[in-house]
């Protein structure tokens, strides 16, 4: 009898355990209210839902999962299930959610099942709100609660959110100069967009050369060649870029200091002491070039991303990554960014929570700060717009600023990131958010983006080139002025990634690479139906494309060779010197490589290949110059390199003559030295100047003979 009783009890316990287990395997959905009780979407946002268990693909249908508006009408959304089947993307209609409608309901039927065949057990009606305006955070406590939620999610998903914290990329570069003080002909910075100046390490106004080197500002008069002033910066300040506007000069850089704690922050010793990084903009009066006078200093907590100048207005973009993990030690930690303006005579001030807006579906744990100031009015108020959601790449036209944000998919895999784009209207220093959009894949750099006839064009890479299971592919997307996707060309060059992009009029030129360099010519004249017109495959790859005219293009990059490996089925690709290519794109369907120039061997490098602003272009003379350091391989070994020279090269490049070297600027040296690396080449009237960290040298443009020299202390 006792054995029978024990058997019955064991069976009951087993059935209860089995029931509990089966019940726990029924899926529920996790939604993100972020700062509100229900989920909030922008008009063009896709909404990602996470399920507790993997779903059966056959049950994820538009009959079982659908969206209705407030009047009960179905909305034409699309559904995409992730590879692990635990995440579902609900994408808006192609034209966005219906205007005038704000509240919608997502319906999930119990017919949705797991891969085990168990029914969905969560909410069957999930309300969400669509808005055209960015919401604000409203309170410091709401911000604290949000980051506490991030900490909880971080632990729950084993580091998913940690992998989504992105390092701030320090700075882009470039600029086109005008000065009422000089009638000389002189070079400007090699800007991406005409009328939009980019900061650089060297500028000229036709009478003076302004240079950032070795943590100091150097101002040099060109006639006669004479250093007028050298202004050292503090040891903890690293200058990145400068701008010049008449008698004003702006230096932008980053500084760092020990961690800052306010009174009331009950800090114990954190496990890692953070270093506080600041983006700093210092404006100088340079009416007297021998004595630059500091007029104003603005400090923004976080790292420097990019800057642009339209007319006299500077637009500065920075990112700040809050140390949200410190909330585990102290609930009173304030995670709002800090700003300091020397004109106010006050210390660091926190940005009010109600002035911080957020992108509802952004996964970023960073802030983006967009700051504007007027170089002609150094005492005018600055504008600081703050957004929760960090951006990594920036494109700017004269009227709009676009910030690209990497959005990681639910598996946290870097290779499967998508890109969100936020659009801001800019005018006379005012900054106004206008729209957001999203595309598949990652952006390479600012040249992957372009504004043309009111539309926004963007090229991306999805996946990883060396992943045979999920090979990469490349795409071009076109979004309208409201950032709604209107056209695309997808799945280009599978197994390769983008190395350079250039938009010229209605055409897009995209270089991808793995073993050879395909140059794609894409016609975007019909935004709804872009199409590949031509393709050219050649050895090597270009990292920067520069237009000569509407029918010719120069590619700067690397020559390569494919080497078979005995121990591997996959050949090894080796860089084999710097390569210049002249492309003829007159026949868009059959682009041609008209001429090439190979400089040095493996190990040869130029700052131009990473920074377009290192290119000097003298349009009237068809001359192109850039810094270069040249190495050659030893005769008996491809793995040992011989240093040849460092300096700069100047070429004449035309469709008629091809690529012709006109001058080589170098001094005989035994090895590569940082002090002698040329930063930039510029020209003023009939003279060309090479600007290095240690000297400025002048050459005649008639015969390229040295005509002047000045050392820099």
Mark whether 185 and 249 lie in a shared domain: yes
Instruction: Using the 3D structure, point to which of 382, 397, 412 is the last residue of a domain.
Output: 397
Share of the chain above pLDDT 90, in %: 60
Q: How far, in Å, CA of 620 to CA of 16, rounded?
A: 86
pLDDT at 411 over 90: no
Residues 62 and 182 in one domain: no
Residue bearing the bigger pLDDT, 474 or 51: 474
Judge whether 372 and 360 are in contact, CB under 8 Å: no
- Which pLDDT does position 432 carry in this prediction? 95
Task: Specify whether the backbone of 53 is left (phi greater than 0), alpha (psi in -120 to 50) or beta.
Answer: beta
The reply to whether 48 falls in a domain is: yes
Assign 180 a pLDDT band (cuts: 50, 70, 90). Answer: very low
In a domain? residue 418: no
> Is 250 a member of any domain?
yes
pLDDT band at 393 (very low <50, low <70, confident <90, very high): very high
Average pLDDT, the chain: 86
pLDDT given for residue 514 in this prediction: 76
Looking at the structure, tell me whether residues 316 and 177 fall in a common domain: yes
Specify the pLDDT at position 208.
Answer: 98
Structural contact between residues 690 and 696, judged by C-beta atoms closer than 8 angstroms: yes
Rounded Cα–Cα distance for residues 280 and 251 (Å): 8
Cα separation, 174 vs 636, whole angstroms: 42
More confident residue, 150 or 270: 150
Residue 38 has pLDDT above 90, yes or no: no
Phi then psi for residue 160, to 5 deg, are: -55, -50
Q: Tell me the two tokens of residue 306.
A: 């990019």
Hey, what are 117's tokens? Answer: 């065949």
Winning range, highest mean pLDDT, from 68-82, 429-443, 612-626, 632-646? 612-626
Is residue 3 one of the residues assigned to a domain?
A: no
Whether 43 is in a domain gets the answer yes
Residue 47 domain flag: yes
The mean per-residue pLDDT over the stretch 186-202 comes to: 97
**Apex 310 CA angle, 369 and 173, nearest 5:** 65
Asked if residue 452 has pLDDT above 90, the reply is yes
pLDDT, one tens digit per residue, over 656-692 is 999 999 999 998 788 889 899 999 999 999 999 999 9
Q: Is residue 155 part of a domain?
A: yes
Beta-ladder partners of 56: none
pLDDT in tens, 301-336: 999 999 999 999 999 999 999 988 888 888 889 999
Token pair recorded at residue 329: 């030690």
Q: How many residues in total does the chain contain?
A: 713
pLDDT at position 713, please? Answer: 84
Q: Predicted confidence band at 181 (pLDDT cuts at 50, 70, 90)?
A: very low
Residues 278 and 356 in one domain: yes
Q: Is the pLDDT confidence value at 157 over 60?
A: no
3-class DSSP state of 213: strand
Neighbours of 40 (CB within 10 A): 22
Element (H, E) at 157: none
In a domain, 9, yes or no: no
Indicate whether 268 pLDDT > 60: no
Helix and strand element counts for the chain (H, E): 3, 49
DSSP 8-state code for residue 92:
P
Cα-based distances in Å from 58 to 55, 85, 113, 295? 9, 11, 9, 66
Tell me the sheet residues that pair with 508: 503, 522
Residues 261 and 179 in one domain: yes
pLDDT at 6: 54
User: How far apart are the C-alpha atoms of 249 and 242, rounded to whole Å?
Assistant: 7
69 and 147, same domain (yes or no): no
Render pLDDT for 582-639 as a digit per residue (tens, 0 to 9). Answer: 999 999 999 999 999 999 999 999 999 999 999 999 999 999 999 999 999 776 555 6
Cis peptide leading into 536, omega within 30 of 0? no
Of 25-39, 122-136, 518-532, 657-671, where does mean pLDDT reach its minimum?
25-39
Q: What is the mean pLDDT of residues 517-534?
A: 95
Q: Are residues 354 and 379 in the same domain?
A: yes
Measuring CA to CA, which residue among 321, 363, 436 is closest to residue 32?
Answer: 363
Mean local confidence (pLDDT), 110-131: 84
Is 696 in contact with 709 (CB distance < 8 Å)? Answer: yes
Question: Does residue 44 sit in the same domain as residue 111?
Answer: yes
For the chain, the C-alpha Rg in angstroms (whole number) is 29
Q: Does position 172 have pLDDT exceeding 70, yes or no?
A: no
182 and 210 part of one domain: yes
Residue 421 has pLDDT above 50, yes or no: yes
Mean pLDDT (whole number) for 239-267: 81
Highest mean pLDDT among 187-191, 391-395, 461-465, 517-521 belongs to 187-191
Which domain does 296 fall in, by range? 134-265+272-397
Question: What is the distance between the alpha carbons of residues 215 and 712, in angstroms, rounded to a whole number?
Answer: 13
List the one residue out of 51, 53, 65 whose CA is nearest residue 115.
Answer: 53
- Give the model confidence (pLDDT) of 330-369 as tens digits: 888 999 999 999 998 888 999 999 999 998 877 678 999 9
356 and 249 housed in the same domain: yes
Per residue in 316-333, is it b (16+ CB within 10 Å) or e — as a string? bbbbbbbebbbbeeeeeb
In DSSP terms, 198 is beta-bridged to: 308
Rounding to the nearest 10 degrees, give the CA dihedral for residues 146, 149, 150, 155.
Answer: 170
What is the percentage of the chain residues whose pLDDT exceeds 70?
83
Single residue among 337, 366, 397 that ends a domain in this structure: 397
Question: Which of 615, 551, 550, 547 is CA-nearest to residue 578?
Answer: 615
With a cut of 50, say whether residue 22 has pLDDT above it. no
Same domain for 86 and 171, yes or no, is no
> How many domains is the chain partitioned into structurally?
2
Torsion-angle region of 584 (φ positive above 0: left; ψ -120 to 50: alpha; else: beta): beta
583 exposure class (CB count in 10 Å sphere: 0-12, 13-18, 19+): buried
pLDDT band at 402; cut points 50, 70, 90: very high
Specify the pLDDT at position 490. 95
How many CB atoms sit inside 10 A of residue 383's CB?
15
Domain termination residue (choose one: 359, 382, 397): 397
Closest CA to 317 of 446, 143, 150: 446
Interatomic CA distance for residues 609 and 603, integer angstroms: 13
Cβ atoms < 10 Å from Cβ of 284: 23
d(C-alpha 475, C-alpha 461), whole Å? 7
Strand ranges (E), 223-364: 225-232, 237-245, 248-257, 276-285, 293-301, 303-310, 313-320, 338-341, 349-350, 356-358
Q: What is the CATH number of the domain that holds 97?
A: 2.60.40.1220
Residues 91 and 228 occupy one common structural domain: no
């Amino acid at each position: 009898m006792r054995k029978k009783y024990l058997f019955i009890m064991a069976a009951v316990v087993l059935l209860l355990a089995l029931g509990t287990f089966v019940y726990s395997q029924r899926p529920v959905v996790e939604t993100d209210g972020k700062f509100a009780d229900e989920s909030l979407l922008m008009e063009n946002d896709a909404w990602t839902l996470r399920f507790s268990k993997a779903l059966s693909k056959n049950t994820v249908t538009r009959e079982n999962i659908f969206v209705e508006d407030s009047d009960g009408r179905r909305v034409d959304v699309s559904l995409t299930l992730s590879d692990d089947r635990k995440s579902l993307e609900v994408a808006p209609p192609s034209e966005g959610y219906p205007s005038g409608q704000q509240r919608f309901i997502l319906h999930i039927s119990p017919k949705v099942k797991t891969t085990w065949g168990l029914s969905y057990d969560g909410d069957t009606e999930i309300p969400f709100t669509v808005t055209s305006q960015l919401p604000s955070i409203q309170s410091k406590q709401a911000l604290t609660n949000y980051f506490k939620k991030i900490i909880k999610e971080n632990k729950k998903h084993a580091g998913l959110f940690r992998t989504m914290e992105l390092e701030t990329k320090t700075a882009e570069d470039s600029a086109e100069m005008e000065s009422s003080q000089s009638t000389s002909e002189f070079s400007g910075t090699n800007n991406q967009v005409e009328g939009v100046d980019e900061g650089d390490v060297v500028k000229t106004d036709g009478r003076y050369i302004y240079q950032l080197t070795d943590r100091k500002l150097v101002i040099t008069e060109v006639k006669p060649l004479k250093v007028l002033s050298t202004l050292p910066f503090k040891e903890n300040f690293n200058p990145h870029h400068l701008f010049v506007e008449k008698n004003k000069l702006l230096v932008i850089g980053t500084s760092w200091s020990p961690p800052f704690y306010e009174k009331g922050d009950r800090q114990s010793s954190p496990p890692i002491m953070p270093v506080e990084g600041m983006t700093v903009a210092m404006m100088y009066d340079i009416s007297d070039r021998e004595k630059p006078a500091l007029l104003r200093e603005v400090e923004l907590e976080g790292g420097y991303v990019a800057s642009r100048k339209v007319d006299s207005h500077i637009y500065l973009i920075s990112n700040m990554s809050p140390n949200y993990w410190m909330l585990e030690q102290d609930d009173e930690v304030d995670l709002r960014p800090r700003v300091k303006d020397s004109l106010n005579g006050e210390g660091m001030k926190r940005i009010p929570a109600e002035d911080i807006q957020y992108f509802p579906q952004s996964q970023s744990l960073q802030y983006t700060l967009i700051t504007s100031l007027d170089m002609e009015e150094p005492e005018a108020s600055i504008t600081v717009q703050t957004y929760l959601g960090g951006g990594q790449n920036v494109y700017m036209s004269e009227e709009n600023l676009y910030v690209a944000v990497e959005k990681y998919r639910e598996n946290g895999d870097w290779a499967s990131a998508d890109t969100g784009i936020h659009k801001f209207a800019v005018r006379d220093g005012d900054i106004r958010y206008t729209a957001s959009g999203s595309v598949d894949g990652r952006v390479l750099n600012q040249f992957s983006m372009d504004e043309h006839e009111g539309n926004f064009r963007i090229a991306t890479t999805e996946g990883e080139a060396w992943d045979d299971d999920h090979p990469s592919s490349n795409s071009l997307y076109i979004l309208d002025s409201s950032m709604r996707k209107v056209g695309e060309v997808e799945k280009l060059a599978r197994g390769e990634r983008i190395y350079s992009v250039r938009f010229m009029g209605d055409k897009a030129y995209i270089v991808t690479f793995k073993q050879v360099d395909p140059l794609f010519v894409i016609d975007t004249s019909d935004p709804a139906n872009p199409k590949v017109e031509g393709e050219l495959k050649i050895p090597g790859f270009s990292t920067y494309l520069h237009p000569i005219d509407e029918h010719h293009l120069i590619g700067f990059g690397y020559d390569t060779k494919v080497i078979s490996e005995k121990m591997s089925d996959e050949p090894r690709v080796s860089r084999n010197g710097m390569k210049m290519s002249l492309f003829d794109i007159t026949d868009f369907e059959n682009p041609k490589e008209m001429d090439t120039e190979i400089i040095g061997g493996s190990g040869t490098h130029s700052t131009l290949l990473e920074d377009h602003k290192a290119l000097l272009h003298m349009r009237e003379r068809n001359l192109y110059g850039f810094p270069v350091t040249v190495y050659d391989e030893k005769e008996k070994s491809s793995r040992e390199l011989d240093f040849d020279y460092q300096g700069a090269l100047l070429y004449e490049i035309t469709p008629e003559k091809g690529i012709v070297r006109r001058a080589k600027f170098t001094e005989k040296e035994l090895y590569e030295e940082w002090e002698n690396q040329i930063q930039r080449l510029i020209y003023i009237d009939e003279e060309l100047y090479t600007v290095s960290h240690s000297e400025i040298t002048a050459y005649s443009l008639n015969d390229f003979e040295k005509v002047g020299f000045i050392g820099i202390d």
